[in-house]
């Protein structure tokens, strides 16, 4: 069975702090995709990144970076120099090899205060 665990329910930081959101996944498939989504207070789901199981290179996009480690089944997300606008719920998700559906973790609520 596929499963995504986001152990951090809530994180609070002060602006300009770095913060890492953890994601651990379970799958028996050799081919799969991992995603991160952001859900701001307005409620929509914003796509951040997709990574396939064969690409373990770290990704950096501005203040965002992702660390994918198959050995530990983790796909962690780091925000550098956090800003108030980063306050949101962040979801990690997994698609299995059959590609039938996106399976979400329960999310991490990030609160950034000024």
Question: H/E/C letters for each residue in the chain?
Answer: CCEEECCCCEEEEECCCCEEECCEEECCCCCCEEEEEEECCCCCCEEEEEEECCCCCCEEECCEEEEEEHHHCEEEEEECCCCHHHCEEEEEEEECCCCCCEEECCCEEEEEEC
Binding residue count for other proteins, defined by CB under 8 A: 22
- 42-101 residues near other proteins, rule: CB under 8 A: 43-45, 47, 50, 52, 91, 95, 98-101
Residue 107 in the binding site for other proteins (CB under 8 A): yes
Residue 40 in the binding site for other proteins (CB under 8 A): no
Q: How far is CA 108 from the centre of its chain?
A: 9
Nearer to other proteins, 53 or 80 (CB): 53
Minimum distance from residue 37 beta carbon to other proteins (Å): 8
Nearer to other proteins, 75 or 91 (CB): 91
Of 19-27, 41-49, 60-68, 79-87, which segment contacts other proteins by CB under 8 A? 41-49
């Amino acid at each position: 069975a596929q499963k995504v665990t986001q152990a951090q329910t809530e994180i609070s930081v002060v602006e300009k702090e770095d913060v890492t959101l953890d994601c651990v996944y379970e799958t028996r498939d050799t081919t799969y995709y991992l995603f991160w989504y952001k859900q701001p207070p307005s409620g929509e789901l914003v796509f951040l990144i997709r990574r396939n199981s064969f690409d373990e290179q770290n990704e950096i996009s501005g203040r965002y970076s992702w660390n994918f480690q198959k050995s530990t089944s983790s796909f962690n997300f780091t925000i550098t120099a956090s800003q108030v606008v980063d306050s949101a719920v962040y979801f990690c998700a997994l698609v299995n090899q059959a590609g039938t559906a996106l399976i979400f973790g329960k999310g991490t609520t990030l609160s950034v205060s000024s």
